[in-house]
Structure 1
Amino acid sequence: MQRYLDVLKKRLPHGFKQLQPSKHDNIIIAMSSGVDSSVSAALFSSFPKARGVYMRNWNNKQNDMKNCDEKDWNDARKVAEYLNLPIEMVNFEKEYWIDVFEPMLQSYELGVTPNPDVLCNRYIKFGSLKRNLDEKYGRDNYWLVTGHYSRILQNMGTSQFELWRGVDMSKDQSYYLSQVKPNALNQVLLPMGHFYKKEVRALAQDLQLPTAQKPDSQGICFVNNSQQGNFKSFLREYLPIERGDVVTIDPDRGKKTVWGQHDGLWSYTLGQKIGIAMPQGDPKYRGTWFVSEKLKDTNEIVIVKGRENPKLFRDNVVLTKMKWLMEGEINPMDILQDAVKNGSLFMQYRSLQKPIPIKECKSSPDMADCHLELLLKKPQRAMAPGQYGCLYLQDRVIGSGIILSSAT
């Protein structure tokens, strides 16, 4: 714990503080079996009322997935036993199916590109789990610790709790937390957000944690090992085949040429390389081709040549169904306009990408479910509808919405 306090002393931004639990507070550590949650557990294991919780979110019908889940649960138990920390498993399979998996499938059926990790954080880790803990310990009578690389800081001037990027930009996970409800922030601790990944690995080795050498998890939890390299094969098990044409469009005459077929608009996302036979002997067609548009009305996928083709880039994006992390503050639009003037408003439509400066922004009158239109200072590649656009004031997350459309 002292190492954590020493890091905080060096890295807390001026004018902010990181709340700390009292000695006899209830502290619940979400343990996924990875090194990040294991180190988080170690930092708080000395508190008398600290305990771990492992979430089972997926119905593991397939043997390799069942084995993977059991291995993670066993690893989490080994860490808890090593730290002399009680741990229990809670089951949110039903909630995950309803709130995360089914909406993901519905989005793919509509031809857009969802992000289940964002939904999981909003509805499961900081939704179902929080309600479970509220019932067990009483609302606001516990701290929830997770291994996310982000920070929740209290502004000493406004007393508001703010979500910030982690100090390690190469591991920052604030994008995935951008839809969490703001009323959850005041009792959540994210210690990993103050560390660099190499420091976490070193700390795990110094503490001789059983998961110190465990690789970081990759891919999506409900995709089994044999499908990780081909997400399309996984989706085929749940989505109907609705074949349509893969086409090019002549820029001068608007004429379409059919080059093949796809299994459904869900089978590709914007900017994705498409493996389709083109006449490589013709210089006009020689090269690699990418998805530039998905035409829902005609069930067609439009492709263009070259990864840096201008048709893959847009500088205007519309976000909808905005969720704000500025509870109790002034109108979000006032904050956005001031930030644009100051050059401090940025967007990301993927995690771990370089923040994109915003040149202009305007919204519909209803900010609860607004269409927020952003003009970016530089065109961006493959901003796919369905993805989340996360807004930042420098390093602070102020909200996010679903990309409705993008244009030049």
Structure 2
Amino acid sequence: MLSRFAQTVGKRAIKGYKPQKLPNRNDNVIIAMSSGVDSSVSAALFAEQYPNARGIYIQSWGKSQSLTDPQLEPCYERDWKDVGRVAEHLGIPVDKVNFEKEYWLDVFEPMLESYNKGWTPNPDIGCNRFVKFGKLREYLDQQYGANNYWLVTGHYARVLSSSYNDQPHLLRSFYPAKDQSYYLSQVDTDILGQLIFPTGHLTKPEVRELAVAAGLTTTSQKPDSQGICFVNNSQSGKFKHFLEHYLPNSPGNIVTIEEDGNKRVWGRHPGLWSHTIGQKVGLSMPQGDPRYAGSWYISDKLQDSNELVIVRGRDNPALYQDTVTITNTFSLDLNFRRLMKEAIEQGKLFIQYRSLQDPIAVKDCHFDQDETVLKLGSAQRAMAPGQYCCLYLQNRVLGSGTISRVGT
């Protein structure tokens, strides 16, 4: 399997980058396993030829935090059993580590704080930064010694070394439909050189074919995970209702801004966190009145008055902006600002404020202390404070920051 993988990767070389480096035979190879087909195939690729290959499973959620039905098996217990079956089939040992505390403090609580401000956070980016490639790295450094192991995961992205200076760069996946580079945009650069993302060089159908070839017939048909498992298994099954268990009830009005500048109240909300910019609202509007007929969407959140503003029509101009300001920027290159400026001059700088959206060209930027203000090539719909804005030099990730302001 590994030779077949290497041949495939060789045919997909990228100009300016060296081929994917593989471990020496006796190196320590640790595969982060989550029970899905991507991490299982990643484990299968290294299990046969590397005697020091072993799996590791991260539990980041526990019974003390769970809201699941006690009669249902928690997702983390089910996944751990599945990981054990895959590891046994592949003939490799697997360890289980518990990072519940770290996930709660570094990912979950900051997410709640962001929602409580009415922002729209993405906890997956924080989980990758602080848990999967943060706390796990500390643990592996203690077990094997710093820089004395390879960490393999099933993420759809690529880490390749530059042909010019050997510096490792984070790149988009070969298969755009599953690219996860957005979620990895704040991973510490110090560990990039030890990471291997095998599935980042493959298509999803190829991954499933390899799963069958490895005898992982059940795993090969396993559906892709959608969202956070402990939310999917929550009592309500909906993220909004899940958040109600953790966020204070702070009701306010849902309003329109009339032509005369006055506000008209149409309903109530339980908190600014309950909706995001661009989201459709299920309000009963007077459909017989042409001014109010049709669908309505959240266009703004008024912090001072605790109000949600709605506008008519999915493509209402109020939902579109061509300027975005980001803060707390995390860069993957010491020459971050210079590279941004050069990329803009060459028409090669792009952003994404959601995963798997089409890249958006940046035509200008300026830096103001801790802020980066980006002028986009075209107005974009439903950019919201709290979202991560990932910056790309073509297919290479330069870093990301948190959107703090939309519009001028």
Query: What's the TM-score bracket when you normalise by the shorter of the two chains?
Result: over 0.9
| Post-superposition offset of 1:227 | 5.6
Cα shift at 1:395: 0.2
TM-aligned CA deviation for residue 99 of structure 1: 0.5
C-alpha distance after superposition, 1:247-271 (max 9, x if no partner):
0002x32111011110000000000
Q: Which amino acid aligns with 2:178?
A: K
Tell me which residue corresponds to 2:55.
52
Task: Report the equivalent of 2:15.
Answer: 14
Is this contact kept in 1: 2:234–2:242, CA < 8 A? no
* Partner residue in 2 for 1:96: 103
Amino acid at match of 1:26: N
Deviations 1:60-88 (A, max 9, x none): 33336743222111111111000001001
Residue identity in the other structure for 1:351: S
Q: 1:398 to 1:64 in 2, by over 3 A?
A: farther
- The code of the aligned residue for 1:315 comes to D
Aligned length: 400
- The CA distance in 2 between the partners of 1:9 and 1:224, in whole Å, is 39
Pick from 223, 227, 245: which aligns with 2:253? Answer: 245
- The answer (yes or no) to whether the contact 2:231–2:238 under 8 Å persists in 1 is no
- Aligned residue for 2:91, secondary structure, equals coil
5+ long unaligned stretches in structure 2? none
- Answering whether residue 79 of structure 2 is matched by residue 76 of structure 1, we say no
Q: What's the CA shift for 1:55?
A: 0.4
Letter in 2 for 1:37: S
The 1-side partners of 2:236 and 2:29 are apart by: 35
Aligned to 2:39: 37
CA-CA distance at 1:14 after TM superposition: 2.1
Determine the structure 2 residue equivalent to 1:342. 346
Deviation track 1:126-156 (CA, whole Å, cap 9, x = no partner) reads 0010000000100000000000000000002
**SS in structure 2 at match of 1:211:** helix
Query: Matches of 1:99 and 1:277 in 2, distance apart?
Result: 40
The CA distance in 1 between the partners of 2:96 and 2:317, in whole Å, is 50
- Once residues 246 and 379 of structure 2 are traced to their aligned partners in structure 1, the CA distance between those partners, rounded to angstroms, is 35
SS in 1 for 2:178: coil
Q: Do structure 1's residue 311 and structure 2's residue 318 form an aligned pair?
A: yes
1:286 lines up with 2:289 in the alignment: no
The equivalent residue for 1:217 is 225
Show the counterpart of 2:201: 194
Change (3 A) 1:393 1:65: farther
SS for the counterpart of 1:202 is: helix
CA shift for structure 1 position 225: 2.7
Runs of at least 5 residues in structure 1 that lack an aligned partner in the other structure = none
Corresponding residue number in structure 2 for 1:230: 238
Cα distance in 2 between the residues matched to 1:403 and 1:65: 38
Residue 382 of structure 2 corresponds to residue 374 of structure 1: no
SS of structure 1 residue aligned to 2:74: helix
1:85-234 equivalent positions in 2, closer than 5 A:
85-209=92-216, 210-225=218-233, 230-234=238-242
**Cα separation, 1, equivalents of 2:406 and 2:231:** 29
| 3-state SS, counterpart of residue 152 of structure 1 | strand
Amino acid at match of 2:251: R
Conserved in 2, the CA contact under 8 Å of 1:204 and 1:212?
yes
Task: Supply the AA of the counterpart residue of 2:54.
Answer: R
Q: Is the 8 A contact 2:75 2:230 kept in 1?
A: no
Report the Cα distance in structure 2 between the residues aligned to 1:358 and 1:229, rounded to whole angstroms: 38
| Aligned 8 A contact 2:74 2:230 in 1 | no
Contact 1:64 1:225 in 2 (8 A): no
Aligned CA-pair RMSD? 1.3
TM-score w.r.t. the length of structure 2 is 0.96
Tell me how far 1:42 sits from its aligned partner.
Answer: 0.3
Partners of 2:329 and 2:402 within 8 A in 1: yes
Residues 4-25 of structure 1: per-residue CA shift (max 9 Å, x gap): 1101110121231222100000
- CA positional deviation for 1:221: 3.0
Q: How does 1:259-274 map to 2 (within 5 A)?
A: 259-274=266-281
Match of 2:365 in 1: 361
Residues of 2 paired with 1:335 and 1:218: CA distance? 35
Counterpart CA distance in 1 for 2:234 and 2:246 is 16
In the alignment, the residues of structure 1 paired with residue 194 and residue 236 of structure 2 have an alpha-carbon distance, to the nearest angstrom, of 35
1:263-299 superposed Cα distances (whole Å, 9 cap, x missing partner): 0000000000111111112121111110000000110
Deviation for aligned residue 1:226: 5.0
Identity of aligned residues (%): 55
Q: Is the 8 A contact 2:112 2:247 kept in 1?
A: yes
- The aligned amino acid for 2:287 is Q
Question: Using the alignment, how far apart are the partners of 2:73 and 2:298 within structure 1?
Answer: 35
Q: Deviations over 1:370-394 (max 9, x none)?
A: 2100000110000010000000000
Residue 128 to residue 195, structure 1, CA distance change in 2 (3 Å): same
Q: Deviations over 1:190-227 (max 9, x none)?
A: 11100011110111112221411111111113313356
C-alpha separation in 1, matches of 2:203 and 2:232: 30
The 8 Å contact of residues 324 and 374 in structure 2, kept in 1 or not, is answered as yes
TM superposition score normalised by structure 1: 0.96
1:158–1:64 CA distance, 2 compared to 1 (3 A) = farther
- Aligned match for 1:254, one of 245, 252, 261: 261
